[in-house]
């Protein structure tokens, strides 16, 4: 991996990577961004989505993509990481890599799941970044949290209608508190 990333940087000086090694000199965390992603992040990296739910590689290292939305409303990959753990110190390492790659600029907003370690690291590293939970994760927890109520189906339907209403979406985009 080190040889590949070094070769990529030789091919294009805007390729950025950092590799974190453990005490036995084994790779523990990796962060990278190619030149295209770095340029896209300048344009579309003001609000990013960050999620670590993918464990499909042979080393069981969580894949940690930073995703933005371009001017066509399409998802765009801005940064990537592979992590050894999902704890506060590992997320701090990754978010500090983001800041170095972006010349000390943090995103204005970040959407995540409800991971406490992630939230702690965001509070420490991205001091002026607005942290919000991803609506998909919130809506996914509705059955778990509300199913015991007598009017669960009515509550669920009304809540889904509320969060998908055009006025709610407009209010969220404008930073409203409703």
Mean pLDDT by 10 residues, the chain (178 residues): 94 96 93 93 89 71 91 92 94 96 92 90 95 77 81 83 65 48
Question: Cα-flanking dihedrals φ and ψ of residue 17, to 5°?
Answer: -150, 155
List, in sequence order, every residue forming a beta bridge with 77; answer none if it has no partner: 67
127 and 157 in a common domain? no
114 and 50 in a common domain? yes
133 and 54 in a common domain? yes
pTM of the model: 0.78
134 and 160 in a common domain? no
pLDDT of residue 57: 64
63 and 97 in a common domain? yes
163 and 81 in a common domain? no
pLDDT of residue 178: 42
Task: Outline where 2-148 has alpha helix (H).
Answer: 2-11, 35-44, 88-101, 116-125, 135-140, 142-146
pLDDT of residue 55: 62
Domain range holding 164? 149-178
Helices (H) then strands (E): counts for the chain = 8, 7
Distance CA(77)–CA(73), nearest Å, equals 13
156 and 117 in a common domain? no
3-state secondary structure of 176: coil
């Amino acid at each position: 991996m080190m040889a590949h990333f070094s070769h990529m940087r030789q091919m294009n000086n805007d390729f950025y990577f950092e590799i974190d090694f453990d005490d036995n000199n084994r790779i523990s965390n990796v962060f990278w961004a190619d030149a295209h992603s770095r340029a896209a992040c300048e344009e579309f990296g003001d609000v990013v989505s960050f999620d670590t739910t993918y464990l499909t590689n042979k080393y069981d290292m969580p894949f940690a993509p930073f995703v933005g939305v371009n001017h066509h409303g399409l998802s765009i990959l801005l940064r990537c990481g592979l992590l050894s753990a999902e704890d506060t110190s590992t997320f701090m390492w990754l978010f500090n890599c983001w800041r170095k790659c972006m010349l000390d600029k943090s995103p204005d907003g970040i959407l995540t799941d409800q991971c406490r370690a992630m939230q702690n690291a965001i509070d420490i590293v991205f001091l002026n970044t607005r942290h919000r939970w991803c609506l998909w994760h919130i809506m996914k927890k509705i059955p778990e949290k509300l199913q015991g109520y007598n009017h669960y189906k009515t509550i669920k339907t009304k809540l889904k209608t509320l969060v998908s209403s055009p006025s709610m979406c407009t209010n969220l985009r404008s930073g409203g508190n409703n």
